[in-house]
Structure 1
Amino acid sequence: MSASADSFARLAIEMHEAPGVEETIDAVVQFALQALSCTYAGVALYARGSRPEVAAVTDPVVADVYDLQLSSQTGPLVTALQEKTTVLIRDTTTDGRWPEWAAKVAALGVRSVLDVPLVTGGGAHQTVGVLGLYSPVADAFDADDEAIAHILARHASVAVASARHEATMAQAVDARKLVGQAMGILMERFDVDGDRAFAILKRYSQDTNTKLRDVAQHLIDTRKLPH
């Protein structure tokens, strides 16, 4: 099954308009089911500062396939993440690269696997996750499927990076608002100027080893500074 330029354009718009990372990834896996010869699809993403986590699946069997690899840190998903390379398994009953994992996956009814890394561009290419495509049919993925999967992965990589950036920016704006409100409370209560109010918040943040936004939130909620 081939995906037209129109359908990719619609996907790009849908991903761009998605309100967050979770919705973005859901759009990706649903599109994969329509555009590729797969029965199941899923995405695993690197959470910040931790190991990959299952972000979206179209069927519980995909979560099982992922969990088997994430717990043992071996398998095509892990290889795709670490080596930033696409991994194709034509038949889990005959592929010998990860025999223990393959046997378990074959028992789940999955015969074909195509794992494509989600890699962001820029100076240092960074793997943000993997798009996994699965079929109960052996040798389900041909060259066209692989090409479409790569295009989809590029779309997904950009969309995830953009959604994460927007979320980070939104948090920063929210933090500035909270700090501003907290400064206003201190300025009114202690009759100090803005610089002094900010210095008080910063000191409490350092003394209590608490994020500045959390000190501000505590002050707004309780009208008291943390002990």
Structure 2
Amino acid sequence: MEDGQKAPVDGYAFPVLGSSVDGVADVFARLAAELHESGGVEETVEAVVQFALQALNCSHAGVALATRGGRPEVPAATDPVVVEIYQWQMAGGNGPLVQSMREHTTLLVRDTETETRWPDWAAKVRSLGVRSVLDVPLTTATGTVGVLGLYSVEPDAFSQDDEAVAHILARHASVAVATARDQETLARAVDARKLVGQAMGILMERYDVNGDQAFAILKRYSQDTNTKLRDVAQRLIDTRRLPH
């Protein structure tokens, strides 16, 4: 392995900042392509944490994503320790990850041994062997989509170079995650439209109604049973019967 590089992951060798600006730029150009080709949201965030583990001075990494319900989800983590830290923090509603997601700010904990902003959280994290933490929000023009969490077993592990790389990674990840979510939403919408169309066809044939009437029937059953229109359509296709 050449000087100034970390161990390769998925064919990439990560140069240390300062060793070669062109090398760093090339790595992140390839990283951007890799993220945008990852597929779904889970594949995208898994690529993010694996790159973070190799490109940054961290022992563990994870991504927590914001959800419409308000409670973040943890779709990717490099170690069960990260999942435990996230879940404990989200249950308590207090800690740097929660604040980073809520306030769209980067938060650095140099040493959990001396951290005073979140003493209970710091004690818990320290008991898991983690001494320093860097939480970087994943933000887009519409808001925060999640947080990239970096953890080290060493105190004061994250340098200014690490923070700079983390912010670049977070920017790439933000766009990739938002794009993957939009694609999944569009795919679900297209799938739902196809299902409703099939269900309307069944009603039109069975009851000799037109398209508008068939859609009105599905909509009425959806409202009366408090069931999503897509689910009503799926039920009709599967059973050839409308819900009771």
**Fold match by TM threshold 0.5:** yes
Please, what is the CA RMSD of the aligned residues?
1.3
Counterpart-to-counterpart distance in 2, 1:29 and 1:222: 43
Counterpart-to-counterpart distance in 2, 1:43 and 1:174: 28
Among 71, 74, 88, the residue aligned to 1:68 = 88
Counterpart-to-counterpart distance in 1, 2:213 and 2:85: 56
Once the two structures are superposed, what CA deviation does each residue of 1:126-182 show, in whole Å capped at 9, x if it has no partner? 111110001111111111110110111111111111111111111110011001101
For the residue of structure 2 that corresponds to 1:4, the secondary structure is helix
Among 186, 189, 198, the residue aligned to 1:181 = 198
2:126 corresponds in structure 1 to 106
Among 151, 171, 183, the residue aligned to 2:188 = 171
Once the two structures are superposed, what CA deviation does each residue of 1:22-52 show, in whole Å capped at 9, x if it has no partner? 1000000000011111111001111222311
What is the letter of the counterpart of residue 63 of structure 1? V
1:193 corresponds in structure 2 to 210
Among 23, 29, 39, the residue aligned to 2:49 = 29
Counterpart-to-counterpart distance in 2, 1:90 and 1:48: 32
What is the letter of the counterpart of residue 169 of structure 1? L
Counterpart-to-counterpart distance in 1, 2:88 and 2:68: 21
Uncovered stretches (5+) of structure 1, i.e. residues with no partner: none
For the residue of structure 1 that corresponds to 2:139, the secondary structure is strand
2:140 corresponds in structure 1 to 120
Counterpart-to-counterpart distance in 2, 1:100 and 1:194: 60
- The aligned runs of 1:1-227 (5 Å cut-off) are 1-2=16-17, 4-121=24-141, 125-227=142-244
What is the letter of the counterpart of residue 144 of structure 1? D
Once the two structures are superposed, what CA deviation does each residue of 1:49-89 show, in whole Å capped at 9, x if it has no partner? 23112221101111122122112111111111111111111
Counterpart-to-counterpart distance in 1, 2:54 and 2:140: 24
Q: Which range moved further: 22-31 or 154-163?
A: 154-163
Q: How many residue pairs align between the two structures?
A: 224
CA positional deviation for 1:215: 1.1
Once the two structures are superposed, what CA deviation does each residue of 1:66-122 show, in whole Å capped at 9, x if it has no partner? 12211211111111111111111111111221122112212211111100011111x
TM-score (norm 2): 0.88
TM-score (norm 1): 0.94
What is the letter of the counterpart of residue 69 of structure 2? G
Counterpart-to-counterpart distance in 2, 1:50 and 1:90: 28
For the residue of structure 1 that corresponds to 2:117, the secondary structure is coil
Q: Which has the higher contact order (CA 8 A, sep 6+)?
A: 1
What is the letter of the counterpart of residue 215 of structure 1? V
What is the letter of the counterpart of residue 85 of structure 1? T
